[in-house]
Amino acid sequence: MSESPSQGSAPYGGAAAAASRKPMTLHRLRSMHEAGEKIAMLTAYDAASAALLEDCGVDCLLVGDSLGMVMQGHASTLPVSLEQMSYHVGCVARGAPRSWVLADLPFGSYQADVAQAVRSAAALMQAGAQMVKLEGGGWTPPVVAALVERGIPVCAHLGLTPQSVHALGGYRIQGRDEQGARTLLRQARELGQAGAAMLVLELVPSDLAAQLSVEFPGMTIGIGAGARTHGQVLVLHDMLDITLGPKPRFVRNFMLGAGSMRAAVLAYVRDVKSGAFPDEALHGYAA
Ligand code: KIV
């Protein structure tokens, strides 16, 4: 399958569709969520890819600190700096001016105290983000509340939180035992009460992700968390099968048979929207 923008691919892509598309807003995302429409998110780090993703109808572009691994070749996300994140946020925001761009607060830019988190989030917003993402629960709700009070939309991130990879003992499924599951449920509730509008759930069992999606008052976006979240996210390079090193088991290679990056991204959006991706049975995260 290969498509040019002018051929269009209604309802999820094509230059004409993109040109007529209004800028994505938190209000529109909430309306989609309330209407039961799945939210399609992909990572983006550069202007050209961001423009293509916007053109294909990807709802949200995540400037993830995964760029440390994908773009910079590091073994983890930990070395990424706030300056580097701001640079990539600017690239993506210029390439995809109608997209909802959320950006990771990198490791070390929000852990010290609320004032540091507000300063770092402001830098990402000034670079072009519309929302910031931060990892973890327990200690993070006061940070989330402070950002939300200051007009900064927040996406939380629970489950496998890559910035804590050394504490977690590797890239492992989280919340498998009862106590771990109870902790995640409590943390999701607290983050929702603090005002987080979105919650990324990474590598948690599918049944738990479904429960978390009920507990959390906003939108849940899964990655390796089964099909019952309100949306899905993948690292762009993983779904294009150009990952450095081993690829996570839950990733589908959308380039297989696609013929072009555009066709692969269109297929991703189509499959997330229809529920054809992810396949719980295939990926083995159903409890
Ligand atoms: O950094 C990132 O790309 C992420 C996704 C894996 C959710 O946080």
Q: What is the pLDDT of residues 31-87, one digit of tens each?
A: 999 999 999 999 999 999 999 999 999 999 999 999 999 999 999 999 999 999 999
Q: What is the DSSP string of 202-226?
A: ES--HHHHHHHHHHSSSEEEEESS-
Per DSSP (E only), the strands in the chain are 39-43, 60-63, 100-104, 131-135, 154-159, 198-202, 219-223, 231-234
| The token pair that represents 104 in the structure block | 């990771």
User: In this structure, are residues 70 and 239 in contact, taking their beta carbons and an 8 Å threshold?
Assistant: no
How far is 126 from 26, CA to CA, in rounded Å? 18
Q: What tokens does 176 get?
A: 């498998």
Burial class (CB in 10 A: 0-12, 13-18, 19+), 152: buried
Residue 6 reports pLDDT greater than 60 = no
Global model pTM greater than 0.85:
yes
Instruction: Indicate whether residue 190 lines ligand 1 (CB < 6 A).
Output: no
Percent of the chain with pLDDT over 70: 91
pLDDT at residue 93, rounded to an integer: 98
For residue 192, is pLDDT > 90?
yes
| 15-283: in CATH 3.20.20.60 | yes
For 227-257, what is each residue's pLDDT tens digit? 999 999 999 999 999 998 888 889 999 999 9
Q: Over the range 198-229, which residues count as b (16 or more CB within 10 Å of their CB) and which as e?
A: bbbbbbbbbbbbbbbbebbebbbbbbbbbbbb
- Rounded-to-integer distance, Cα 93 and Cα 285, Å: 34
Ligand 1 atom at minimum distance from 162 CA: 8
pLDDT at 111: 98
Domain coordinates in residue numbering, the chain: 15-283
Token pair, residue 107, equals: 């490791």
- Is residue 213 in contact with ligand 1, taking CB distance under 6 Å? no
The pair of three-digit structure tokens given for residue 29, joined into one six-digit string: 């995302």
First to last CA, the chain: 34
Q: Is the CB of 233 under 6 A from ligand 1?
A: yes
Task: Identify the band that residue 9 occupies on the pLDDT scale cut at 50, 70 and 90.
Answer: very low
CB 199 within 8 A of CB 188: yes
Q: Report the range of poorest mean pLDDT among 17-21, 258-262, 266-270.
A: 17-21
Residue-level pLDDT at 18: 55
Name the residue with the closest Cα to ligand 1, atom 4.
Answer: 64
Per residue in 84-126, pLDDT tens?
A: 999 999 999 999 999 999 999 999 999 999 999 999 999 999 9
Number of the ligand 1 atom closest to the C-alpha atom of 70: 3
- Counted residue by residue, the chain has a size of 287
Q: Give the mean pLDDT of 259-272.
A: 98
| Atom 1 in ligand 1: residue holding the nearest Cα | 64
- For the chain, how long is the longest CA-to-CA vector? 53
CB atoms within 10 A of CB 149: 11
Q: What pLDDT does 280 receive?
A: 77
**Ligand 1 atom closest to 64 (CA):** 1
Percent of the chain at pLDDT above 90?
A: 86
Helix (H, G, I), strand (E, B) or coil at 244: coil
Ligand 1 mutation target, pool 42, 70, 133, 240, most atoms within 8 A of CB: 133
